[in-house]
Amino acid sequence: MSPVLAFLMLTGLVAAGSYITAVLDRAAAGALGAAGGGSTFLAPLRTAAATLATQRITTERPDALLWFLAPVSYLALALIGLTVVPFGPSLVVTDLSSGIVVWGMCESLVVIAVFMHGWAANSPLALIGAYRYVAIGLPVMLISMFVLIAAALPAQSLAVTDIVASQEDVWNVARQPLGLPLFLLLGLSLTLRGPFDYADSPDLCGGTTVEVSGPGRAAWQLARLAMLVSFSAMAATVFLGGYLGPWLPGPVWVVLKTLLLLAVLVVLDKLFALMPPSRMLTLVWVVLLPLAFLDLVIAGIEAL
């Protein structure tokens, strides 16, 4: 019964979190003077209805199968990654001894999903966006690998439930202060946001989405929102103690911490501008990756 209940919670979290994120995006845009009129709370519904009603366009000789599989696989990866997130001590869809490895697999396959989306359109701008994302997204995955291994060291386990249990006294965000900020950068990359939006950026007129309209565009945007929810839940679990907390039930703590990180990521998305790809690659390899390795070294010394 527990896996079934956890799956229902997972589904509800993705649905509610995606909608709340869309509302937060609208509110942030309004605060910057970029949003139109109307209710902020209802804006995502209006946008979704307008997108679905838009006439579907196509290009010359696109790969229709990949165009369909890209958003489907992106959404599936978000859901699969969330299955290893526990909502309580025994409330998890799949309590695997290698849960962190499963999440890492989902991270890596996002690169393929985004590349498929750009390749399928048979369009120059879409393909440029896909190649740019691969070039920058892959080294960012290395940052995630270092900080997740560091977070798993105190638990001496790759099971996500054990990582949560190891934070009963001290959360990993306090034990490893470099970990969460570096991991949040991965979240921006996985969800194509802010300074890491090299796939769908405005300088490419939308990049991989430049030729996408109608239900296809709506599905892609939904997948991006779902991945943001999934990432935030994983970050809250690995660094903020997950379901651990006083007074409130464990699932409530997971939801509250996830929403907190969702808001942080939306703010980061609006605060930081897109850098030239060459400069971002230099930042990743010269600054961010050494910091992630330092985080791992410190965690290893503490675990001795």
Q: What is the pLDDT of residues 117-150, one digit of tens each?
A: 989 888 888 889 899 999 998 889 999 999 999 9
> Look-up: residue for tokens 């701008």?
125
Backbone angles phi, psi at 91, to 5 degrees: -115, 85
What pLDDT shows up at residue 35?
53
What pLDDT shows up at residue 45?
74
What pLDDT shows up at residue 232?
93
Residue-wise pLDDT for 71-101, tens only, equals 999 999 999 999 899 988 887 888 888 889 9
What pLDDT shows up at residue 102?
92
Q: What does the block give as tokens for 95? A: 């309590």
Distance, in Å, from the CA atom of 180 to the CA atom of 295, rounded to the nearest integer, reads: 10
pLDDT of residue 242 exceeding 80: yes
Distance, in Å, from the CA atom of 80 to the CA atom of 223, rounded to the nearest integer, reads: 12
Top pLDDT among 95 and 42 is at 95
What pLDDT shows up at residue 36?
56
pLDDT of residue 53 exceeding 70: yes
CA dihedral 180, 301, 163, 134 (to 10 degrees): 50
Reported pTM: 0.92
Distance, in Å, from the CA atom of 35 to the CA atom of 70, rounded to the nearest integer, reads: 29
Q: Residues 6 or more apart from 81 whose CB is under 8 A from it? A: 102, 103, 106, 107, 230, 231, 234
Residue-wise pLDDT for 164-203, tens only, equals 999 888 899 988 889 899 999 988 988 988 888 888 888 8
What pLDDT shows up at residue 1?
46
What pLDDT shows up at residue 72?
93
Mean pLDDT computed over every residue of the chain: 86
Extract the runs of DSSP E, i.e. beta strands, from the chain: none
Task: Collapse the DSSP code of 88 into the 3-class scheme (helix H, G, I; strand E, B; otherwise coil) and give the result.
Answer: strand
Distance, in Å, from the CA atom of 82 to the CA atom of 283, rounded to the nearest integer, reads: 29
Which one, of 294, 298, 155, 140, lies nearest residue 238 by Cα?
A: 155
The mean per-residue pLDDT over the stretch 276-304 comes to 89
Q: Are 230 and 84 in contact (CB under 8 A)?
A: no
Q: Are 173 and 240 in contact (CB under 8 A)?
A: yes
What pLDDT shows up at residue 286?
92
Name the residue type at position 299: A
Share of the chain above pLDDT 90, in %: 31
pLDDT of residue 294 exceeding 80: yes
How many domains are contained in the chain?
Answer: 1
Per-residue DSSP letter, 202: G
Distance, in Å, from the CA atom of 81 to the CA atom of 230, rounded to the nearest integer, reads: 7
Strand partners, 88: 91
Which one, of 52, 18, 50, lies nearest residue 216 by Cα?
A: 52
Task: Collapse the DSSP code of 57 into the 3-class scheme (helix H, G, I; strand E, B; otherwise coil) and give the result.
Answer: coil
What pLDDT shows up at residue 63?
81
What pLDDT shows up at residue 37?
55
What pLDDT shows up at residue 25?
79
The mean per-residue pLDDT over the stretch 25-43 comes to 69
- Domain with 19 in it: 2-303
Distance, in Å, from the CA atom of 77 to the CA atom of 230, rounded to the nearest integer, reads: 9
Distance, in Å, from the CA atom of 192 to the CA atom of 204, rounded to the nearest integer, reads: 13
The band of 114, judged by pLDDT with boundaries at 50, 70 and 90, is very high
Range with the lowest mean pLDDT among 37-46, 70-79, 213-222, 272-281?
A: 37-46
What pLDDT shows up at residue 257?
94
